[in-house]
């Protein structure tokens, strides 16, 4: 789903293989240099294509085509169907992506991956009440499945729907599970504000800023609380 992330992992793996203290033949040295150069060049090209509009769209188009071809040969492949739904959603056709995710969930009503993907897409689109229904079912039945992600999106959905108490509980869980996440701290700050904990809200915003380095929304919220 994330070509940059996958390529970065591959590149890091390759670079870790290089041992500069080891004596190698000149053939191996040249091959290593050429391989590293190609990897870095490819990474640069991929970054360029990912961050500039038309090429990013082309990536989604080609990936959707590939996934549909795989599904034609393996129509019962749930994982491919979910990836297709998410890719279509990320391409911008949110309605169709969610519709496909619903179809998968109708075939596998208790599947944790299907519940998570649909709940995440619904939360992102702003359908918070329905997102809560699927994510709460997931959290109840599969407490060990992506606990930080489930807690965060469930907390965000509660928050945006105005249920500050449940939002506070879930976002506190998300922070405890992933203390390096600035966005979890930011939304926790909003939940703390919602229940009237101004000092804790400010602390959460400051934690978000500290972890992100630059977080305009958290900075604005912190300034508002310190006036």
CATH number of the domain to which 181 belongs: 1.25.40.10
| Residues above pLDDT 70, as percent of the chain | 75
46 or 81, higher pLDDT? 81
The reply to whether 75 falls in a domain is: no
If phi > 0 it is left, if psi is from -120 to 50 it is alpha, else beta; for residue 224 that is alpha
Domain total for the chain? 2
pTM for this model (two decimals): 0.74
Q: Is the pLDDT of residue 149 over 90?
A: yes
Average pLDDT over residues 141-163: 97
Per DSSP, 181 falls in state: -
Provide the pLDDT for residue 26.
Answer: 38
- Residue range of the domain that includes 207: 138-227
The reply to whether 160 falls in a domain is: yes
DSSP for 15-58? HHT--TTS---HHHHHHHHHHHHHHHHHHHHHHHHHHSHHHHHH
Provide the pLDDT for residue 227.
Answer: 84
- Report pLDDT digits (tens) over 49-61: 444 545 567 889 9
What's the CA gap between 92 and 95, in Å, rounded?
A: 9
The reply to whether 94 falls in a domain is: no
The reply to whether 24 falls in a domain is: yes
β strands within the chain, DSSP E: none
Provide the pLDDT for residue 57.
Answer: 75
Burial level of 41, CB count in 10 A (0-12/13-18/19+)? Answer: exposed
Question: Is residue 5 very low, low, confident or very high in pLDDT (cuts 50, 70, 90)?
Answer: very low
The reply to whether 118 falls in a domain is: no
Provide the pLDDT for residue 56.
Answer: 66
- Report pLDDT digits (tens) over 66-104: 999 999 999 999 999 999 999 999 999 999 999 999 999
């Amino acid at each position: 789903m994330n070509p940059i992330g996958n390529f970065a992992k591959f590149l890091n793996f390759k670079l870790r293989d290089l041992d500069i203290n080891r004596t190698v033949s000149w053939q191996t040295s040249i091959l290593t240099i050429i391989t590293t150069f190609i990897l870095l060049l490819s990474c640069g090209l991929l970054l360029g294509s990912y961050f500039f509009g038309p090429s990013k769209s082309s990536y989604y188009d080609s990936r959707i085509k590939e996934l549909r071809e795989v599904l034609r040969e393996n129509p019962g492949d749930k994982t491919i169907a979910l990836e297709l739904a998410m890719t279509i959603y990320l391409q911008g056709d949110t309605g169709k992506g969610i519709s496909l995710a619903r179809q998968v969930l109708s075939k596998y009503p208790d599947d944790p991956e299907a519940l998570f993907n649909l709940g995440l897409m619904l939360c992102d689109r702003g359908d918070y009440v329905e997102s809560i229904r699927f994510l709460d079912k997931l959290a109840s039945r599969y407490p060990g499945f992506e606990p930080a992600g489930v807690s965060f999106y469930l907390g965000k959905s509660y928050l945006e729907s105005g249920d500050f108490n449940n939002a506070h509980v879930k976002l506190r869980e998300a922070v405890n599970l992933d203390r390096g996440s600035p966005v979890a701290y930011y939304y926790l700050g909003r939940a703390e504000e919602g229940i009237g904990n101004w000092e804790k809200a400010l602390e959460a915003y400051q934690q978000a800023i500290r972890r992100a380095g630059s977080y305009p929304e958290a900075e604005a919220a912190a300034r508002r609380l310190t006036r």
